[in-house]
């Protein structure tokens, strides 16, 4: 492994093995040989009934304490930037690669369109960012792909002309044909199903998710600062405001509940535990589904651009690498192992990139 900082050590994954339920799923993609591997959330966590969870040979809470990525040395950062150059610095070559092709824009929300904040309910995007997204959507099909509940993301973004893939892509809906921008009408007018794109990958899990939500909410009442967020097809147990000595208690309570639900999996994020159905569906599959719904499956005249900051966005980056079309852009100030081709340092640079893209497109139109 290189010296590049991987995603933080708190971002580990633990899955309770279970067969994927029958339904409409895409074939799994294998990472390209030689492509950088994503290490975020990939350390195994023991969810057995005996003992505390152990990550990387140490107690779970020690892993959390050491979770902040270290600051990279200048030489290391420079080496990483050579491999993942700024999408702003390389804007013209990037635009040249998309010449003659239909750009389709995919955007994560938290950490991409809005900064990471202590209270998830306050992750509000600025009016300037909303305007940048709106202008891009005037020219290109645009989707928001988030771990949040689809309705919550729509409430944050407030743009009905976009496509929304919530719950890590498990809940997808697009605008009706009568409300779609002209560029979308041109692409999908021959597809009856695209009049209102709608797909839910894990509807059968809704009763179970609701049951676990009630159970966890009751258990978290005894831990000050802990809260359970219902994201429809997944649950987020936030402990950012929990005292450090209580972190392990949060982890133990969640694990004790999930022992009764073998068809759910547990992922650890940045001071959040996420509970999701154990199905073969992720943001990469959501990207594929939306491209297919827009009529671009198997075509070489499409140029998808996916911008995201999280480990879950790596699934989409890898799909684009395997397609050999479009680009992935990682939002990060620090070197991280990623399948993205380009980088932007923060939401402010994302906003600038979107503005430049909309301005260039607008200038070329009569």
- Note if 346 is an active site residue: no
The angle, 0 to 180 degrees and rounded to 10, between the axes of the packed helices 347-364 and 127-139 is: 40
* The two structure tokens encoding residue 105: 């824009």
Contact of 328 with 342, CB cutoff 8 Å: yes
Cβ neighbours around 52 below 10 Å, total:
12
Q: C-alpha dihedral over 316, 322, 326, 327, to 10 degrees? A: 60
What distance in Å separates the CA atoms of residue 7 and residue 311, rounded to the nearest whole number? 7
Which own/partner pairs from 295-299 qualify as long-range (CB within 8 Å, at least 24 positions apart)? 295/187, 295/188, 295/190, 295/191, 295/194, 296/102, 296/104, 296/187
Task: Determine phi and psi for 275, rounding to 5 degrees.
Answer: -115, 125
What distance in Å separates the CA atoms of residue 304 and residue 341, rounded to the nearest whole number? 13
Active-site residue among 11, 38, 108, 310? Answer: 108
What distance in Å separates the CA atoms of residue 57 and residue 63, rounded to the nearest whole number? 9
Beta bridge partners of 321: none
* The two structure tokens encoding residue 149: 């509940």
* The two structure tokens encoding residue 242: 């929990």
What distance in Å separates the CA atoms of residue 113 and residue 109, rounded to the nearest whole number? 5
Q: Where are the beta strands (DSSP E) in 108-257?
A: 142-145, 163-166, 171-173, 198-200, 227-230, 235-238
Please give the positions annotated as active site.
108
């Amino acid at each position: 492994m290189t010296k590049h900082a991987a995603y933080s050590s708190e971002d580990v994954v633990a899955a309770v093995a279970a067969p994927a339920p029958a339904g409409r799923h895409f074939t799994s993609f294998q990472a390209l040989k030689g492509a950088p591997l994503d290490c975020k959330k990939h350390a195994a966590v023991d969810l057995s009934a005996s003992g505390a969870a152990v990550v990387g040979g140490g107690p779970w809470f020690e892993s959390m304490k050491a979770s902040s990525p270290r600051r990279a040395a200048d030489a290391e950062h420079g080496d990483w930037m050579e491999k993942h150059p700024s999408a702003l610095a390389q804007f013209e070559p990037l635009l040249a690669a998309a010449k003659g092709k239909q750009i389709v824009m995919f955007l994560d929300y938290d950490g991409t369109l809005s900064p990471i904040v202590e209270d998830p309910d306050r992750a509000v995007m600025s009016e300037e960012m909303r305007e940048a997204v709106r202008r891009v959507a005037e020219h290109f099909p645009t989707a928001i792909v988030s771990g949040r509940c689809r309705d919550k993301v729509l409430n944050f973004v407030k743009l009905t002309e976009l496509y929304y893939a919530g719950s890590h892509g498990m809940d997808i809906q697009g605008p009706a044909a009568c409300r779609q921008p002209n560029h979308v009408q041109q692409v999908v007018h021959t597809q009856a199903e695209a009049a209102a794109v709608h797909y839910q990958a894990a509807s059968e899990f809704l009763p179970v998710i609701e049951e676990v939500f009630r159970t966890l909410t009751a258990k978290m009442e005894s831990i000050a600062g802990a809260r359970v967020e219902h994201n429809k097809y997944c649950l987020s147990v936030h402990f950012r405001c929990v005292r450090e000595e209580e972190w392990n208690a949060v982890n133990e309570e969640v694990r004790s509940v999930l022992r009764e639900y073998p068809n759910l999996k547990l992922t650890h994020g940045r001071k959040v535990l996420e509970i999701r159905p154990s199905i073969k569906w992720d943001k990469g599959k959501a990207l594929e589904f939306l491209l297919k719904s827009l009529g671009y499956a198997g075509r070489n005249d499409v140029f998808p651009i996916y911008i995201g900051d999280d480990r879950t966005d790596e699934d989409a980056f890898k799909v684009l690498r395997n397609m050999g079309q479009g680009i992935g852009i990682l939002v990060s100030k620090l070197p991280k192992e990623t399948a993205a081709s380009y980088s932007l340092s923060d939401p402010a640079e994302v906003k600038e990139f979107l503005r430049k893209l909309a301005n260039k497109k607008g200038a070329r139109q009569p």
